[in-house]
């Protein structure tokens, strides 16, 4: 079987299925690696032209690569400069998203083929993602194989916390980037080699906005909100709530000290996404965690 990205480390545990081929028999070619690297240009020196800064679709040693783009090639010369810039920026974003979606689809096929339940956990910084994962892993680790991918701009704190529970974890540092992308997850998965029939938690970078645009190939997106953030967050940052299958409201142990109305928060989320499941819990005290565990068990046995 041909397997992308594994060369120097010898035979990997798994291979990815080729898109469009028989997923049981097909080999996975280096789909994204064979794509041309796009949009390279030199950083404009002493230039008054606008520049575009964005994340590139590959990374170096777990770090997102940033790049500057000049406006040196503009086919639509009759357009105003600002319109041309906007058009080019839009094209860059569309290309980035399309390449991400392609890799995400490969990740999804891989997870499906190996019966790995991959969950993408997203919230603002500090809502309690890692605390909930630790509480969850402590309860599940003797029942199902688990692994975690931890996304943060800097530090390996969260991966260290997960490893302290006795679970394999890979830390992805995104540098200035505010989200994980499918390529990062692909590389982290390659390193982790999650077991067949396992649970893979992907803790995204703490951010309620950017990660919403990036499919990682997960089976389910889960958005977390803590009660200290206010009930209007689903209305203010709707994209993530529209995408998620489950909203976890964390830190309910703090409710006696706050003015937040839980019901208003749930209504706000259901206004954006009428089908969203809601679980209110406290990762610290364990209140409500059984409901979360049974949500997981239902998905694991699906």
Ligand X SMILES: Nc1nc2c(ncn2[C@@H]2O[C@H](COP(=O)(O)OP(=O)(O)OP(=O)(O)O)[C@@H](O)[C@H]2O)c(=O)[nH]1
Q: Which residues bind ligand X (CB under 6 A)?
A: 123, 125-131, 152, 158, 206, 250-251, 253-254, 282-284
Using alpha carbons, list the distances in angstroms from residue 191 to 86, 90, 169, 194: 38, 33, 10, 9
Is 130 near Mg ion (CB under 5 A)?
A: yes
Q: Which is nearer to Mg ion, 159 or 192 (CB)?
A: 159
Min dist CB 262 to ligand X, Å, is 14
Q: Which is nearer to ligand X, 253 or 277 (CB)?
A: 253
Q: Across the strands, what pairs with 90?
A: none
Q: What Rg, from alpha-carbon coordinates, does the chain have?
A: 21
Structure tokens at 198: 């396992």
How many residues are recorded in the chain? Answer: 302
Q: Which residue is nearest to ligand X (CB)?
A: 206
Choice from 158, 183, 218, 243 touching Mg ion (CB under 5 A): 158
Q: Which is nearer to ligand X, 5 or 288 (CB)?
A: 288
Min dist CB 116 to ligand X, Å, is 22
Q: What is the footprint of Mg ion within residues 110-129 (CB under 5 A)?
A: 129
Min dist CB 203 to ligand X, Å, is 6
Min dist CB 128 to Mg ion, Å, is 8
Binder of residue 251, out of Mg ion, ligand X, none (CB less than 5 to 8 A by kind): ligand X
Structure tokens at 7: 């060369």
CB-count exposure of residue 11 (10 Å: 0-12, 13-18, 19+): exposed
Q: Which is nearer to Mg ion, 57 or 179 (CB)?
A: 179
Using alpha carbons, list the distances in angstroms from residue 8 to 3, 31, 62, 170: 11, 18, 17, 19
Min dist CB 191 to ligand X, Å, is 20
Longest dimension (CA), the chain: 65
Min dist CB 128 to ligand X, Å, is 3
* Beta carbons within 10 angstroms of residue 255's beta carbon: 16
Binder of residue 128, out of Mg ion, ligand X, none (CB less than 5 to 8 A by kind): ligand X
Min dist CB 247 to ligand X, Å, is 14
Angle of CA points 230, 231, 237, to nearest 5°: 90
Q: Across the strands, what pairs with 173?
A: 152
Give residue 236's Cα distance to chain centre: 20
Q: Which is nearer to ligand X, 80 or 256 (CB)?
A: 256
Q: Which residue is nearest to Mg ion (CB)?
A: 130
Q: Which is nearer to Mg ion, 158 or 183 (CB)?
A: 158
CA atoms of 128 and 171, how far apart (whole Å): 17
* Beta carbons within 10 angstroms of residue 4's beta carbon: 19
Q: Which is nearer to Mg ion, 157 or 236 (CB)?
A: 157
Q: Which stretch binds Mg ion (CB under 5 A): 3-11, 151-159, 233-241, 276-284?
A: 151-159
CA atoms of 42 and 180, how far apart (whole Å): 25
Binding footprint of Mg ion on the chain (CB under 5 A):
129-130, 158
């Amino acid at each position: 079987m041909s397997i992308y990205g594994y060369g120097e480390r010898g035979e990997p545990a798994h291979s990815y299925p080729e898109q469009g081929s028989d997923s049981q028999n097909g080999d996975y070619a280096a789909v994204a690696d064979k794509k041309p690297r796009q949009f390279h240009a030199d950083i404009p020196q002493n230039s008054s032209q606008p520049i575009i800064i964005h994340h590139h679709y590959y990374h170096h040693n777990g770090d997102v690569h940033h790049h500057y783009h000049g406006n040196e090639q503009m086919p639509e010369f009759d357009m105003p400069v600002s319109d041309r810039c906007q058009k080019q920026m839009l094209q860059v974003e569309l290309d980035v998203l399309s390449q991400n979606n392609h890799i995400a689809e490969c990740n999804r096929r891989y997870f499906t083929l190996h019966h790995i339940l991959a969950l993408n956990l997203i919230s603002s910084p500090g809502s309690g993602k890692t605390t909930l994962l630790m509480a969850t892993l402590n309860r599940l680790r003797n029942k199902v194989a688990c692994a975690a991918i931890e996304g943060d701009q800097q530090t390996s704190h969260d991966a260290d916390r997960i490893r302290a529970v006795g679970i394999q974890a890979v830390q992805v540092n995104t540098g200035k980037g505010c989200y994980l992308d499918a390529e990062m997850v692909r590389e982290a998965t390659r390193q982790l080699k999650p077991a067949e029939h396992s649970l893979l938690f992907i803790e995204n970078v703490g951010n309620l906005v950017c990660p919403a645009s990036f499919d990682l190939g997960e089976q389910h997106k889960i958005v977390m909100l803590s009660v200290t953030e206010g009930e209007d967050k689903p209305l203010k940052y709707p994209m993530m709530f529209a995408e998620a299958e489950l909203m976890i409201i964390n830190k309910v142990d703090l409710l006696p000290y706050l003015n937040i109305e839980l019901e208003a928060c749930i209504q706000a989320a259901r206004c954006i996404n009428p089908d969203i499941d809601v679980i209110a819990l406290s990762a610290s005290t364990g209140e409500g965690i059984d409901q979360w565990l049974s949500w997981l068990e239902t998905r694991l046995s699906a």
